[in-house]
Structure 1
Amino acid sequence: MKKTTIILAAMLLVASSLFAAGAKEQAGDNSLQKALDKGKLVVGLDDSFPPMGFRNEANEIVGFDVDLAKEVCSRLGIEAVFQPIDWNAKEQELNTGNIDCIWNGFTITEDRLANMTFTSPYVSNAQVVVVKGDSPYTTLASLAGKKLGYQAGSSAAEAVDGSPEFKKSLKQIVEFKENLTGLMDLEIGGIDALVIDLLVANDNINRSGKDFKILSETLSSEDYGIGFRKGEQKLADGVWAELVAMDKDGTLAKIATQWFGADITVVGK
């Protein structure tokens, strides 16, 4: 009985310590107030990632995520500032303070969750394989011995790594700095296939009218979230609260429909 009492007391002591540490960390989190005082939120993005964030013909940064960030910041009473970054160095850009968040079709993964603070998912997506319309490839297995491309440091790379047998079957993997470069290389036959986000693939095919097709097999399903520096929970919560409000008043659905023709968001669903 004594032994049980001692164990229970130890467990309570550990729990109390963890609760106190968590409360202390939350109390020391002034990330939201810091953004409000600064009057702006610096959003890191790949500015060649349509329809989430890209440059239009007037060289303006536009896109679905861009419109969401602008609306959220407007409701918070601050300015959304968009900072193009090297996607392969996105975590470094965030941790050094060059940007305040990563908001650009940013997939939530276990590794990223361990190193930064995320909002809940706001869009569901998948990693798919795009090939030329007249190519003979119809399945992942048919790409054995072929050249595959993806954006360096992207969730596409993680999806391929997460399919070791498929990866092993390939002749070569080519990394690109941007998805658009990969699509251009696919068009001229430099690679046989490109792994890319489903939403991005659909948008590119629809807008460009180029002869690409998407294989029915997907490599992985995933969720998009907004990434902040580790521990900046209050800023993440503040942004998420505005997205929830936008869902309730129909603004989120309106923005999604403008870009995708339908409400593809998962907030509140």
Structure 2
Amino acid sequence: MNVRAPALYAHRVENETKLTAGDAELTLEPGHGCRIASLRVAGTELLLQGDRFGAFLMVPWVGRTENGVFRNGGVTHQLPVDAPPHAIHGTGRHVAWQEAAPPTDTTAAYYYDLADPWPYPGRVTHTVQLAPHSVTLTMSVEAAADGDSFPAQAGWHPWWRRNLGQGGQDVELAFSAAWQEERGSNHLPNGNRIDPKPGPWDDCFGMPDGVDVTLTWPGEMRLEVRSPASWVVIYDEQPDAVCVEPQSGPPNGLNTAPRLVTPIDPLEISTVWTWHRIG
């Protein structure tokens, strides 16, 4: 990363980093799980506000892990059950992240080292690149050079505002998925792939050609969520927000679709969010 002169550094106040590009402004909270606390375009906030909202990172697993248990070869591990009876959304959202390099006006990079209650050493890095009409997010999960390999997942959980609060209509979702993961009574995929059903959703969809979901606030804003990843969770059961979550695997994927991270083969995932004002 190129380090710019101090006058072009991102604005940092009390563990808050603000990036700006054109009329877009993004606020990161590295001390709060490296959460994207705000994304404003021409003064309009796109993300639901509040400590639980914005856009948080899911790592080293996404969604629910069944009963908080996963296996790596012949070894069984127990994770904290924070969404009984399951473990949910990883540890990254609960820890403070460290600066990987001084931020500029449009870029920032942070990391945290995997530690208890995650049983394997490693490092997670999150990079944010803001442009006037888009933001590119990249996350990597690395195993320690002298450590064991382990299964992992990563993704983002943005809470997009259902209504932008300016007298316009609620957001409309558009996407075409190859399949929907059928959900069992335990709220996890049961292994069956079915044709996508109408919402409301709290469901995982397969997009083998890459995640491609469009959110449109009629007459106001269009936003595209894209990723080379093949999985997305759509959650629209809340009255104030909808979630479009690009991720590297399905819920409970540590057990059902493990992606092994080795000292020479990190897990890498990216997503690009692009917006256009309408009218």
TM over 0.5: no
Structure holding more helix per residue: 1
The TM-score with structure 2 as length reference comes to 0.27
Of structures 1 and 2, the larger Rg is shown by: 1
Greater RCO, CA 8 A, separation 6+: 1
